[in-house]
Amino acid sequence: MIETCFGIGALDSTYAFAVAAVIGGFFGFFLEQAGFGSSRKLAGIFYFRDMTVLKVMFTALLTAMLGLSYLTAFGWVKAESLYLLPTVYGAQVVGGLVFGIGFVMGGWCPGTAAAGLAAGKIDALIFLAGAVAGSILFNEMFGFVAPLYSLGGRGVQFVYATLGMPKSVFVFAFTAAAVICFWCAEYVERKISGRGKYLFSPFLTVFSLCLLLLAWGLSLIIPPVSGEAGIESGIMADVDSGKDHVEPEELAARLMAGDKGLVLVDIRPASEYRAFHICGAVSMEMPRLAAYLAPHKNRGTIVLYSNGMTHPAQARDSLARMGYRNVYILTDGLNGFIARCLKPASLRDEPLTPEQAARVAAWRRRFLEL
Amino acid sequence: MDIPRISKRRPYMNPYVAGIMLGVTLLASFLTLGAGLGASGGLARVAAYLESRIAPAHTAATVYFGKWGPQPLRYYLVFMLGGIFLGGAISAISSRRFSLRVERGHACAAPRRIFFAFAGGVLAGWASRLAQGCTSGQALTGGALLLTGSLVFMACVFAGGYAAARFVRSQWYD
């Protein structure tokens, strides 16, 4: 298991700053090596003259996606230790369109402009000044754009869940589409500007096959289950692998991060809820549960808890049969949350690392309102 | 006596190899920081710093920049942005590609290119705040994590870019 700065809440530490600077160094180096220190080359994709942006960007995306998918499948890195950006449809559609216009107009995006400035491009400096001005403009008009900023917010959403397909199937389809794009890009370059030197090259052939093989190999590790027939076996598989659980630490981290896509439901009797509950939970007894959760079906993450695990597990299975794919139960229930997240370090049998102790202290402040 | 050629620009890296190296960099960022790459976030912090130097009380009272507190530059993406500049400089100088100029088509006057670069920067800076990221933080990072909104953002970037491309093409005419 790899612990990340985000996972232990240390993204604002000096260590994280140093790591970010080094990572940024490699990022800038390879951006410039790829030719992204040139606005003319970057803008080329929009005129089908130079498709380098497509090749570099999708290769980078696939490399990281496949690498991370394997590491996650092997259990070396957990989703809870990664910072996941929420999906906000309105903001991302409008933001994407306006950003695209700015990109083709300026010939830069923020990261490449920083690399371009380093390569001596004065237009990159001008673009960066514009981007700073644009950020200030956004701040000044935030009251006006705030509704758009949160329009269509769905919390953390994975595209395969949104589309209702198994992850491994989506990964393979996405990889295959990208490989087809690479070959089309080479073909277009050869037709329009006489380049496209990797078209039918042994390099691109081998590279394409490697990507497809890696994407296919993932399906051997993550078995695909979908459709009506798959629901029951899917429930069984999730129960068997513990995928229907959310660990208390992950829940605490997501609550701390203010994850808007998280719906935390306390299914104990209302009297117990009033006596004590996890900050941010809503009280909902079992009979009214399905009606209450309907708007959240397959949107964001629903976490159910009780004192133990029996009732939430039964509710979760029932909801899964009704087509809910985003319902999780809290491992060891409220008792587990208290024992694992809120119990002071001093009262524990096993010693905690300083990072863990700091995390527990932060959780106690947040959830116990000390 | 032969005079050695002192200035020979090296060709760019194979784009697929450069892509793999950027992907490995992104993966390293996931495994150490637990967060992906980003550039506009750092730039916005610089913007917040500059605005707070000009109008401290006003900036602190704004909703968006105000929540970043009195030291907006103490943020990992600011350091990453500095790293991008240094890494880019090492690459450009070692590959002998450094040249001080306004990049544009031969038939385009410099002021026109400067205008487009600034206007494009304003739009990209504004839009990256609205969408909570740019091509690095949303499209590349969020795309690699298979996040729905990030992939929607990426599709819209290309849609917006292709729709506007012909109106700004004059800056690249030779």
Highest mean pLDDT among A212-216, A243-247, A315-319: A212-216
Q: Which residue has the higher pLDDT, A227 or B26?
A: B26
Q: Residues of B numbered 70-129 whose beta carbons fall under 8 angstroms of chain A's beta carbons: which are they? A: 74-77, 79-92, 95, 97-105, 113-114, 116-129
Distance CA A108, CA A128 (A): 9
Count of C-beta atoms within a 10 Å radius of residue A325: 15
Distance CA B39, CA A100 (A): 16
| B153-173 tens-digit pLDDT | 999 999 999 999 999 999 999
List, as one string, the DSSP characters of A318-363.
Answer: HHHHTT--SEEEETTHHHHHIIIIIS-GGG-SSPPPHHHHHHHHHH
- Establish if B54 touches chain A: CB-CB under 8 angstroms: no
Are the beta carbons of B30 and A64 separated by less than 8 Å? yes
Are the beta carbons of A105 and B82 separated by less than 8 Å? no
Are the beta carbons of B25 and A204 separated by less than 8 Å? no
pTM for the complete prediction? 0.76
Among positive and negative, which fits the CA dihedral A84, A86, A91, A92? positive
- Establish if B165 touches chain A: CB-CB under 8 angstroms: yes
Do the bridges between strand A87-88 and strand A153-155 make them parallel or antiparallel, or are there none, so unpaired?
Answer: antiparallel
Are the beta carbons of B124 and A108 separated by less than 8 Å? yes
- Closest CA–CA distance from residue B81 to any residue of chain A (Å): 6
Contact list, B160 vs chain A (CB under 8 Å)? 96-101, 103-104
Give this complex's ipTM. Answer: 0.96
Q: Residues of B numbered 120-159 whose beta carbons fall under 8 angstroms of chain A's beta carbons: which are they? A: 120-159
b/e map of B21-56 (b: 16 or more CB within 10 Å)? Answer: bbbbbbbbbbbbbbbbbbbbbbbbbbbbbebbeeee
Distance CA A84, CA A159 (A): 13
| A89-100 tens-digit pLDDT | 999 999 999 999
Which DSSP helix (H) or strand (E) runs through A246?
strand A245-246
Mean of all residue pLDDT scores within chain A = 89
Contact list, A43 vs chain B (CB under 8 Å)? 165, 172
Least CB–CB distance from A130: residue in B14, B125, B141: B125
| B81-106 tens-digit pLDDT | 999 999 999 999 999 999 999 999 99
Residue A358 has pLDDT above 70, yes or no: yes
Least CB–CB distance from B130: residue in A91, A136, A170: A91
Are the beta carbons of B119 and A98 separated by less than 8 Å? no
Nearest CA in chain B to A77: B31
Query: What is the band of A229 on the pLDDT scale with cuts at 50, 70, 90?
Result: very low
A282-283: strand order across its sheet: A245-246, A327-330, A301-305, A262-266, A282-283
Instruction: Report residue A155 as tokens.
Output: 């919390």
pLDDT of residue A232: 57
| B27-61 tens-digit pLDDT | 999 999 999 999 999 999 999 999 999 999 999 99
Least CB–CB distance from A115: residue in B84, B116, B144: B84
| A163-195 tens-digit pLDDT | 988 899 999 999 999 999 999 999 999 998 888
A185 within 8 A of A54, measured Cβ to Cβ: yes
The single residue listed with the structure tokens 């929420």 is A86
Are the beta carbons of B122 and A134 separated by less than 8 Å? yes
List, as one string, the DSSP characters of A286-317.
Answer: GGGHHHHHGGGTTSSEEEEE-SSSHHHHHHHH
pLDDT of residue A230: 46
Burial of B3 (0-12, 13-18, 19+ CB in 10 A): exposed
Interface test with A, best of B108, B129, B169, B170 (most A CBs within 10 A): B129
- Closest CA–CA distance from residue B97 to any residue of chain A (Å): 7
Phi, psi dihedral angles at A332 (to 5 degrees): 65, 15
